[in-house]
Copies of this chain bind each other. A is one copy, B any other.
Amino acid sequence: MTKSIVNAIRTVPDLREHLAARRADGSSVGFVPTMGALHAGHCALIEAAAASHGEVVVSIFVNPTQFEDAADLERYPRTEQADIEMAIAAGASVCFIPTVDEIYPRGAATTVSVSGGLSNRLEGAERGSSHFDGVATVVTVLLNICQPDAAYFGEKDAQQLLVVRRFVTDLQIPTKIVAVPTVRSADGLALSSRNQRLSDQETVQALAIARALAAAAEAISDGTAGSPEEAETTGRAILDDAGIACEYFEVTSPDTLARAERLDGELLISCAARVGDVRLIDNTTVVANPTREAATARS
């Protein structure tokens, strides 16, 4: 098996030819889809893929159909050369960097959509329901182009991960979906390409998001919160104190994203907030104190 010497591939036929040769060599293929502006969170995905696959493809594609706001798309950071270097250093074999025309053929009219709460709640409610249609469609296209054995997604985008798992299951796409834990700065901020746009003062403010999630989780696990609403109030108060505009802060089922009706079993706490004009999201999971019955059953 020869190591690939290509760092960037820009067309679908070239990528397919490259991967066919690597598969013929016996390599399995891991895939990490990104919108570029790579940071240590992406590197964790790439490293996880490189640990399991002889060939690791990192796509860099800022997908216009998942931005509801043209200004947000325009502002999205683009740092291609640094991205390629970082991806290769983390273990990528090749970066796939297509144009918009390469991903969406002329006359494209097809949408992949996941109905219900997975698409419509939380991020879907804030960003518009077309956001996850854009995600589902572009990830389907990228998986069909790359045909990887496994694809790697960050737990930071928890709802995206649920949407991807849903349509990959439903459409019976033969790719394993692997979730990788959120990478945080030393003081807890979830890494995001958008963090680049925070001033020093805003970066300090933004730490309140992880603190709020941790406080809500602790209130649930130690029994201080008697209901999901109380845990949410605890978290929101911390955002308020930091002067951050909360879009949502919700305790939900980790599988369906339905609002938690009581504190029982595994729960997902998700938050979106604006720090200055930068929109950030983060989440954590927590297991609610098992009831005495459940604890007895387990012992």
Contacts and interface: CB of A to CB of B under 8 A. Distances in A.
Interface in A92-124: 104-105, 107-116, 118
B115 A111 contact: yes
Nearest to A106: B169
Interface size band for A: 20 to 34
A206 B141 CA distance: 42
Contact of A174 (B115, B144, B166): B144
B115 A170 contact: no
A140 B113 CA distance: 13
Q: Main SS of chain A's interface residues?
A: mixed
Contact of A118 (B109, B118, B145, B170): B109
A12 interface: yes
B174 A112 contact: no
Interface string A146-175: 010000000000000000001101111110
A107 B114 CA distance: 11
Contact of A110 (B147, B170, B174): B170
Contacts of A141: 170-172
A266 to B, nearest CB: 17
A10 interface: no
A104 B166 CA distance: 12
25 contacts: A12-B172, A105-B169, A107-B166, A108-B169, A108-B170, A109-B116, A110-B112, A110-B136, A110-B166, A110-B167, A110-B171, A111-B112, A111-B113, A112-B112, A113-B113, A137-B171, A141-B170, A141-B171, A141-B172, A144-B171, A144-B172, A144-B173, A144-B174, A145-B172, A147-B174
